[in-house]
Amino acid sequence: MLQKSVLPVLSFLLLCFLPALQQKEQLSNKKIRFEKDEQVKKLDLQKLWDTTKVCNNPHKGWYIHYFDNGISKYHNKLAKGDFLKDFPGLNHVYLRLAWSYLEPEENRYNWDVIDTVITKWVAQGYTVSFRITCKETSQQFATPEWVKNAGAKGTMIKKEGKPDAWEPDFGDPVFLEN
């Protein structure tokens, strides 16, 4: 369960933010002077602090890569119905998918791949961002193969002498039309 991994994450955060906390302490010891009348003013920002979240920065807090480099990674590690509510500050779901999953055939779209995930997570209060990619290292055709077959220029990248991933010429007119 996730609870076992929270302590190392919190320890990591402490190490990351310790220099910032030390700098905050140094800044709080400085006095703000106004040239006009040389009065010393102290600004108290405590009323603006939010101590309920680890990272309270809208759309920039913790997020989960639900899909990344394909539809078979990461999300399959979650138990059914687990929305990671026990992970402090997690408020965002990120989907990174190859174009070929969404348009496997020309003009035939498969939006269910992302609609299903978005509907579930938004209902739980999460925000969503997604990226549609045209080249992945773990997938031979991130750009649908039908685009290549339609005449788009590109290069087959080889790994250990074997075809690994087709990379389109991103400036090619056939690629751009599709």
- pTM for this entry: 0.63
Q: What distance in Å separates the CA atoms of residue 63 and residue 122, rounded to the nearest whole number?
A: 13
Dihedral pair phi/psi, residue 73, rounded to 5°: -110, 145
| pLDDT tens series, the chain, 178 aa | 445 555 555 555 555 555 555 555 554 444 444 445 556 677 887 777 766 665 555 556 678 888 876 777 677 778 888 888 888 778 888 888 999 999 999 999 999 989 998 999 999 999 898 899 999 887 899 999 999 999 999 999 998 888 889 999 999 999 999 9
